[in-house]
Amino acid sequence: MKTRPPEVVALGRRVRQAREAQGYSQRFVARHLAERLGQPFAQQQLHRVETGARELAVRELVHLAEVLQVEVGQLLAPAGDAGLFYDVQGADRDVIVYMGRISDDVKHLGEAEGRLSGALDRYAEADPDMNLSVQRTRAQAARSIADTVAAALKDEWAAMAKAERA
């Protein structure tokens, strides 16, 4: 049996405590979390989070805190904190929010690249003589997506640095 990291188990315990304090069922939280994420999140997944068998992605953590109506810092309290909560202040909170936004941006870019790739494949099938042109277009699109992600990251980090200085 795989050993669960103590911080993951502690996070799961705090998620369960916050859920129970609100009087929410696992099914209720999972359904509302799935709506916020825009993707499936089953009750069984929440159970695995609460037992420390499943880690959360940053954007899942941010949205889960919103569903549970708690601060992200309350869920991230150190494992040895004996249940005391603390609030993530200033730049730390911004980092979590920005990372969630960047994750969403990258997901949308990946979806767009997938649609573009499919369209290029259909184009190449329709006109086999254009295969080399399609390959060049695909390479240009990949570079463009990489440049867009890099620019988004740069903008997010610049905004975060500006917020930290303020």
Same domain, yes or no: 77 and 94 = no
Residue labelled with tokens 């939280």: 29
DSSP 41: -
pLDDT at 84: 40
52 and 100 both lie in a single domain: no
Token pair, residue 132, equals 């080399």
Query: In this structure, what is the dihedral angle of CA atoms 49, 60, 18, 67, given to the nearest 10 degrees?
Result: -140
Instruction: For residues 20 and 74, state if they share a domain.
Output: yes
pLDDT at 122: 73
Instruction: Determine, yes or no, domain membership for 1.
Output: no
> Do 14 and 53 belong together in one domain?
yes
* 23 lies in the same domain as 73: yes
The number of folded domains in the chain is 2
**How many Cα atoms occupy the beta-carbon half-sphere of 112 within 13 Å?**
13
Q: Are residues 61 and 102 in the same domain?
A: no
Contact of 60 with 103, CB cutoff 8 Å: no
CATH number at residue 32: 1.10.260.40
71 with 119, same domain? no
Q: Which residues contact 43 (CB under 8 A, 6 or more apart)?
A: 26, 27, 30
Helix orientation angle between 131-165 and 90-126, rounded to the nearest 10 degrees: 170
CA distance 164 to 49: 31
- Nearest of 49, 59, 42 to residue 12 by alpha carbon: 49
The parent domain of residue 137 ranges over: 90-165
In a domain, 114, yes or no: yes
Residues 6+ apart with CB under 8 A from 4: 52, 53
Per-residue pLDDT of the chain (166 residues; tens, 9 = 90+): 578 888 888 899 999 999 999 999 999 999 999 999 999 999 999 999 999 999 998 889 989 999 999 888 888 865 444 344 444 444 455 565 566 666 666 666 667 767 777 776 776 677 666 666 666 666 677 667 667 766 776 776 677 666 666 6
> Do both 31 and 51 map to the same domain?
yes
